[in-house]
Amino acid sequence: MKKISRREFIKTSFATAGTVVASSGMAKAANAVPRREEPLATLIDISKCIGCEECVFACQESNATKFPKPKKPFPKMVPTSRVPVEDWSEKQDVTDRLTPYNWLYIQHAQVNVDGEEIELTIPRRCMHCENPPCVKLCPWGAAKQEDNGLSRIDSDLCLGGSKCKTVCPWDIPQRQTGTGLYLDLLPSMAGNGVMYKCDRCYDKLENGEKPACIEACPEDVQIIGPRDEILKQAHKIAKEIGGYIYGEHENGGTNTIYVSPVPFDLLNKKIETGVGKPHLFKVKDLMADGTNIAKAMIIAPIAGVLAALGKIHMQSKKEK
């Protein structure tokens, strides 16, 4: 399969995109984002993605005001090896992995489909778990889950301790040193920054708009809607193409649902994984573990108090 560049794609397909989208049932579903508070999921049809990265650039542009603006030089940690410095401020143009400045990227996999070697491209970002460990086990109350199912990190409250990344099955959140509340509290002892990840454009959703990545995609790769309806659509597509689903049960269920024409265990062998590059393994429900349940019950009231204190501090700081 010939890989086309972003520029070539725009030149050759922009003229026909309107016709394609207008005739697509998925496009109709994507145009209506429910305002009522219920779990929303996104469906990503891998077979439609051509890797043009329009979603990546739209995400960066839409969320630029949320990106960190670190202060330098960074405070030295005590001991210096306790929490490593992670600085992406001079590498904001990196788009081949997740970073504090790049919350969505495209994975590539060369696979055999019906005897033909093709390249599948996979948009990757936060999975937005139904029962997110990052939220339930954050000791500072900086991570929260909205009523519509999205999980996000409050950069005003996060101390960058990376508990969210440690408990995330996909290691999604990424740290930027030199920014956040730790600079005011314990710059040499706290978490050394703030953790960042996709927040599914929560501010757009609050206004009834679609997330930037969905709005920008010219191939109608993603749709968003109530999770039960998204799962029905996912199963329908999977049945039509003899495909496979990822996210319905992983980690107890996520609000990011993938449909692929090839098995996900095969995809997982073909994609590049590692730091900032999440896998596609099957994942057990981490929050069904008794230890994690107990931790969450202990953390919840403490985290609530700390989050409230953090908000008071940030509000007083803004008023000065």
pLDDT for 35 beyond 80: no
Distances (CA, A) of 179 to 13, 159, 176, 296: 41, 9, 7, 27
Residue 116 has a pLDDT of 86
pLDDT class for 290, splitting at 50, 70, 90?
A: confident
Short-list 123, 216, 134, CA closest to 173: 134
Residue 112 has a pLDDT of 86
Average pLDDT, rounded, for the chain: 87
Which residue would you say has higher pLDDT here, 315 or 62?
62
Residue 320 has a pLDDT of 66
Mind listing the pLDDT tens digit for each residue in 79-127? 877 788 999 999 999 999 999 999 999 999 999 877 889 999 999 999 9
Q: Exposure pattern of 80-93 as b/e (b: 16+ CB <10 Å)? A: eeebeebbbbeeee
Distance CA 53, CA 217 (A): 9
Distance CA 259, CA 26 (A): 13
With tokens 């990424």, the residue in question is: 174
Residue 295 has a pLDDT of 81
pLDDT class for 11, splitting at 50, 70, 90?
A: very low
Residue 217 has a pLDDT of 98
Residue 79 has a pLDDT of 84
Mind listing the pLDDT tens digit for each residue in 234-281? 999 999 999 999 999 999 999 999 999 999 999 999 999 999 999 999
pLDDT for 24 beyond 60: no
SS3 state at 43: strand
Instruction: Give the single-character DSSP code of 46.
Output: G
Phi first, then psi: give them for residue 11, nearest 5 degrees.
-65, -45
pLDDT class for 33, splitting at 50, 70, 90?
A: low
With tokens 């329009």, the residue in question is: 54
Give DSSP secondary structure letters for 232-244.
HHHHHHHHHHT-E
pLDDT for 301 beyond 80: no
